[in-house]
Amino acid sequence: MIELLLFAAAGIILGIIAGIVPGLHVNTIALMMLGLAPALGLLPLAVAVIAMAISTTFFDFIPSTLLAAPDPATALSVLPGHRMLMEGCGLEAIYLAMLGGLCAMVFVALLFPLMLILIPAFYSLVQGYIAWLLIAMSAFCVLTEHGTKAKLWSCAVLFLSGGLGFLALNSYSFNDALFPMFTGLFGTSSLLFSLKQSGKIPAQNLKPNPPHKKLLLSGVFKGLFSGALVGTLPAMGAAQATMLTQQMTGSGAGKDKEYLISIGAINTIVALFSLVSLYTIAKARSGAAVVVGALLPGLGLPELLIMLGVALLATGISCLLLMRTARWFVRSMSGISYTAVSKSIIAFLVVLVFLLTGLPGLLLLGVSTAIGLLAPLSGTKRSTAMGCLMIPLIVFYIGL
């Protein structure tokens, strides 16, 4: 037991690092850890992987909110979180996402026995209709725009980002196409568009206000619905669930709080559902679940219950550490020139993309940034740019 707790603690630490450092993905670390199995043991290493995967879902909101450096799971949180930062509520944005994840974990734990029954039934019902579900989600995103002109621009963003995603994800030139592509579509494009703002980052409220119970429950249940829907479907995950949630919640400053709660819930529930899917339908839905499946090929109910306990432990510790860490980051940014910060972050992201992906990554970053600017310039939803994943998936499932 002590050995498992130590490995869980190590996993939480690795998750914190992976969450805070842009470009360092939890899946990369999990695959590297797989090679340590002969020396460290199978179950302890699986415990560390799950603890890392869960803690990362909380800490990756720090760079996405403060640095506009997203990964696929948090890409659509960049604008709401950044908007709250400029209103002096950056810490509250992170707090709301944390609450969403915490509440989602509690609900999932309570509904755990029911999940073991419903997931296989749901998967068998929809597995033959994945392409049509993706097409429906994409069409819904476009058709909910107001006016013909907005719908046409939304179509343009959808297919341009989809074409870019298809080329990037099927090219051998990129060892990691997702980081530069999402950084451009949702990170640098947001920063460039907001450079027209002047002044300094306002003093931040370091005592976030708890959300109204109705708002909290609404955000959590929307996140639970979206996360459960896509968390068991092949090749779909937090990115698609986030896109679906934005359509249900709506966009704009008035919806930011509920939306951030939903995204926090989605990140956590998808991480956990991928593990439950591994047990119930023998399908891994995340890189971490793939590694756990490789470590524990005969994953049984006792091991699954241990993983659930580790997930709950990682959630509790991560929530306690997240607010302390986020408060330090937020306090450090207060009063700094916004333009200087934005330019510095853009430069940092460009250098990071170059170091991780080389010249091909820089080219992808530039093209994706240009496409990412189309949405705010045309007044359409940024979520349409999730076509970078949706279109390649549709092509794959149609069999073209």
| pLDDT tens digit at each of 400 positions of the chain | 788 899 999 999 999 988 887 666 776 677 777 777 777 778 888 899 999 999 998 998 888 777 665 555 444 445 677 778 877 888 898 999 999 999 989 988 888 888 888 888 877 787 778 788 888 878 887 887 888 888 999 899 999 999 999 998 888 777 778 888 888 887 788 778 777 665 677 777 888 888 888 888 888 888 887 777 766 665 555 555 666 666 665 555 457 788 888 888 888 887 888 788 888 877 766 667 778 888 888 788 888 899 899 999 999 999 999 998 988 888 877 777 767 777 888 888 898 888 888 899 899 999 999 998 888 888 887 778 888 888 888 888 887 6
| Number of domains, the chain | 1
Closest by CA to 280, choosing from 295, 307, 299, 297, is 299
What range does the domain containing 378 cover?
2-398
User: What pLDDT sits at residue 102?
Assistant: 93
> For residue 123, which of 243, 273, 295 has the smallest C-alpha distance?
273
Place of tokens 């360092």: 24
What is the three-class DSSP state of 47? helix
Residue type (1 letter), 138: S
Q: Residue 233 has what pLDDT? A: 64
Q: Residue 367: its pLDDT value, please?
A: 94
Cβ atoms 332, 71 nearer than 8 A: no
d(CA 217, CA 201): 31
CB 259 within 8 A of CB 244: no
Q: What angle in degrees, to the nearest 10, is found between the helix axes of 112-126 and 90-110?
A: 90
In this structure, what token pair is assigned to residue 139?
């069409």
CA 307, CA 48: separation in Å to the nearest integer?
Answer: 10
**pLDDT value for 79:** 67
Consecutive H or E run containing 389: helix 387-398
- Yes or no: say if 342 and 121 are a contact pair by the CB < 8 Å rule: no
CA distances from residue 238 to 76, 179, 227, 232 in whole angstroms, order as listed: 10, 15, 7, 11
Residue 200: what are its φ and ψ, rounded to 5°? -110, 160
What does the alpha-carbon distance between residue 182 and residue 187 come to, in Å, rounded to a whole number? 7
Give, to the nearest 10 degrees, the angle between helix 90-110 and helix 256-280.
40
pLDDT the model gives residue 75? 47
| Helices first, then strands: H and E counts in the chain | 19, 0
Q: What is the pLDDT of residue 315?
A: 94
